[in-house]
Amino acid sequence: MKVEKLVLYISSFMAFMPLLIKGQTITGKVCDQTGKAVEYANIVYLDSYMHYQAGSITKENGAFSIPIVDDKVSGYLITSFVGMSSDTIKISSDVQQPLLIVLKTQSEELNEVVVKGTRNLFKNGQDMITANVQNTILAKAGNLDKLMNQIPFVSGGGGKYNVFGRGEAVVYLNNRKVYDNNILNTINSDQVKKVQVITNPGTRYSADVKAVIKIYTIDNPDGIGGNVYSNLTFGRKFSNYEGASIVYNLGKCQFVGGIGYANYKTREYAEDRTAILTDPNKLYTNDVTLNYNMNFKSTNLGITFQPSSLQTLGFNTQLTMYEHKHLIDDARINHFTNDVEDFYADGRNISKIKPTKWLTNMFYSQSIGKTRIDLTNDILLGKQGRTSAYDEQSKVSVSTDNKSDYLMNSFVADLNTQLSSRFSLNYGGEFTYSHHKQSFDFAEENIETEMKKTQNKNEQLLGATFINLCTSIGKFSFTGGIRYEYADWSYFMNNMKQKSQSKTYSNLFPTLNIAYNPNQFTNVSLGYRQTVRRPGYAELNDNIEYQSRYYYVQGYSLFTHSINLLASYKNFRLIGSCDFVNDDIVMTRNIFGTKQDIVLSKASNISNYVRWSAGANWWHKFGIYTPYLEFGTGSQTFSYTYMNMTKHFNDPYVNFKVHNTFSLRKNLNIMLFVDYYGKNYSLFKETTEQWNTQLSVSKDIRNWSFQLSLNNMLSPRSHTSTTRCNWVNDISYSNRDNRNASLLISYTFNYKQKKYNTNTRTSEINRF
Per-residue pLDDT, 186:
67
User: Mind giving me the DSSP string for 256-277?
Assistant: EEEEEEEEEEEEEEEEEEEEE-
Residue pLDDT, tens place only, 490-500: 888 878 887 77
Predicted confidence at residue 418, as pLDDT, reads 86
Instruction: Report the DSSP beta bridge partners of residue 288.
Output: 270
537: left (phi over 0), alpha (psi -120 to 50) or beta: alpha
Right CATH number for 223-767 from 3.30.379.10, 2.60.120.620, 3.30.200.20, 2.40.170.20? 2.40.170.20
HSE-up of 415 (CA within 13 Å, CB side)?
15
Q: Answer for the pair 605, 617: CB distance below 8 angstroms, yes or no.
A: no
User: What are the phi and psi torsion angles at 185 (to 5°)?
Assistant: -65, -15
Beta strands in 49-83 (DSSP E): 52-57, 63-67, 74-81
Taking 60 as the threshold, does the pLDDT of residue 15 lie above it? no
Which segments of the chain belong to CATH 2.60.40.10?
A: 2-102
**Amino acid letter, residue 119:** R
How far is residue 569 CA from its own chain's centroid?
A: 25
610 against 182, higher pLDDT: 610
On the question of pLDDT at 556 being above 60, the answer is no
Three state DSSP letters for 272-306: EEEEECCCCCEEEEEEEEEEEEEEEEEEEEEEEEE
Location of each CATH 2.170.130.10 domain in the chain:
122-217
**Cα separation values, 20 from 55, 58, 74, 79, 733, Å:** 12, 19, 19, 21, 58
CA 764 – CA 614 distance, rounded (Å)? 30
CA contacts within 13 A on the Cβ side of 553: 11
What string of DSSP letters covers 539-596?
A: GS---EEEEETTEEEE---EEEEEEEEEEEETTEEEEEEEEEEES-EEEEEEEESTTS
- Distance separating alpha carbons of residues 591 and 602, to the nearest angstrom: 11
How confident is residue 106, by pLDDT bands cut at 50, 70 and 90?
low
The H or E element that residue 386 is part of is strand 371-392
* CA-based end-to-end distance of the chain: 60
Strands 645-648 and 639-642: antiparallel
- pLDDT reported for residue 612: 94
Q: Does domain 122-217 have CATH number 3.30.420.40?
A: no
636-660 burial, b if ≥16 CB within 10 A, otherwise e?
Answer: bebebebeeeeeebeeebebbbebe
What does the mean pLDDT of the chain come to?
81
Instruction: Inform me whether the pLDDT recorded for 530 exceeds 70.
Output: yes
Q: Are strands 170-173 and 212-217 parallel, antiparallel or unpaired?
A: parallel
d(CA 504, CA 458): 13
- Single-letter residue type at 730: D
CA nearest neighbour of 451 among 459, 460, 442: 442
Which band of pLDDT confidence, cut at 50, 70 and 90, is reported for residue 464? very high
d(CA 263, CA 485): 40
Residue 670 has a pLDDT of: 94
Q: Is the model's pLDDT at 19 over the cut of 70?
A: no
Query: Residue 195 is which amino acid?
Result: V
Residue 66: the pLDDT is 82
Q: What is the mean pLDDT of residues 292-312?
A: 87
Residue 120 has pLDDT above 60, yes or no: yes
Query: What CATH topology corresponds to 2-102?
Result: Immunoglobulin-like (2.60.40)
Of the listed ranges 311-325, 353-367, 549-563, 668-682, the least confidently predicted one is: 549-563
Structure confidence at residue 631 (pLDDT): 96
Phi, psi of 538 (to 5 degrees): -70, -25
pLDDT of 703 higher than 60: yes
Q: What is the pLDDT of residue 667?
A: 83
